[in-house]
Amino acid sequence: MAENHEFGKQGEDEAEKLLKSKGFEILGRNIRFGGHEMDIVAKKEKLLVVAEVKTRSYSSMGEPEEFVSKKQQQNLIKAANAYVVHKNLDVDVRFDIISIVKNQYQNTVRHIEDAFYPVM
C-alpha cells in the first residue's frame, strides 16, 4: 500500500510541475472540503483549476483518465463548491484530469482541460 501511495505522490509531483510550467499557482494538494478530497487546486488569474491526478504503471487496461468515475466527478464538484464558498473566491472553476503513465518504458503526461463539467 505504501508503494502505491508513493507512486501516486510521484504522479502528483509531476502534475504540479506541469501546472506550474503553465503559469498556475498551486494553492494546495490533497485538500479536503465538503467531505471529499481534491488532488491539486491551482489558480491562474480568475481561473481555479481542480485537477484530478491519475497515475498508472500501464495503460493496457485503459487510460488513467478513464478511471475517474461519475461519482468521483460529483465528489470533486462538491469539494470545489465548498472550497470556493469557504474561501469566498470570485473565480471560474475548471475541472481537469492529469493522466500519467509511468514505467520503465514510458513516462507520458497528458493534461485534459475541461475534462468534465458540473451538471446544472
Determine the Cα–Cα distance for residues 79 and 102; give it in Å rounded to an integer: 28
Whether the predicted model's global pTM rises above the 0.75 cut? yes
Among the listed residues 65, 25, 73, the one whose alpha carbon sits nearest the alpha carbon of residue 49: 25
Helix (H, G, I), strand (E, B) or coil at 104: coil
The range of the structural domain enclosing residue 92 comes to 2-22+29-116
Determine the Cα–Cα distance for residues 42 and 94; give it in Å rounded to an integer: 10
In residues, how long is the chain? 120
What's the pLDDT score for residue 40? 98
Per-residue pLDDT tens digits for 89-106: 999 999 999 999 887 777
- Number of structural domains, the chain? 1
Determine the Cα–Cα distance for residues 82 and 23; give it in Å rounded to an integer: 25
Determine the Cα–Cα distance for residues 46 and 73; give it in Å rounded to an integer: 22
Determine the Cα–Cα distance for residues 60 and 29; give it in Å rounded to an integer: 28
- Amino acid identity of residue 46, one-letter, is K
Residue 15: CATH number of its domain = 3.40.1350.10
Euclidean distance between the first and final Cα of the chain, in Å? 38
Per-residue pLDDT tens digits for 10-60: 889 999 999 999 999 999 999 998 889 999 999 999 999 999 999 887 666
The answer to whether residues 110 and 65 touch, using CB atoms and an 8 Å cutoff, is yes
